[in-house]
């Protein structure tokens, strides 16, 4: 099956990139919680944990 215009690598590679991003987000959240710091992100809904002070960081600022 051919690649479509705009595809970024094979599906397995794209899946690994998504998993890497999720892992980094979880590590950032754990680090923030560990030192009592706030976490600034544009993806507030990705961090529903009550132990973390999540601050909305608008995109483009």
Task: Give per-residue pLDDT as tens, 19-61.
Answer: 777 788 888 889 999 999 999 999 898 888 888 999 999 987 5
57 or 17, higher pLDDT: 57
pTM above 0.75, yes or no: no
In this predicted structure, what is the pLDDT of residue 49?
86
Which residues have a Cβ under 8 Å from the Cβ of 55 and sit 6 or more positions away?
A: 38, 39, 40, 41
Q: Note whether 49 and 33 are within 8 A (CB).
A: yes
Residue extents of the structural domains in the chain:
11-56
CA pair distance 59, 61, nearest whole angstrom: 6
What residues does 55 pair with on adjacent strands?
Answer: 40
In this predicted structure, what is the pLDDT of residue 1?
47
In this predicted structure, what is the pLDDT of residue 37?
95
């Amino acid at each position: 099956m051919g690649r479509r215009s705009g595809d970024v690598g094979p599906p397995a590679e794209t899946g690994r990139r998504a998993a890497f991003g999720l892992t980094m987000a979880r590590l950032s959240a754990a680090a923030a919680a560990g030192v009592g710091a706030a976490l600034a992100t544009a993806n507030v809904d990705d961090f529903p944990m009550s132990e973390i002070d999540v601050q909305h960081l608008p995109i483009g600022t």
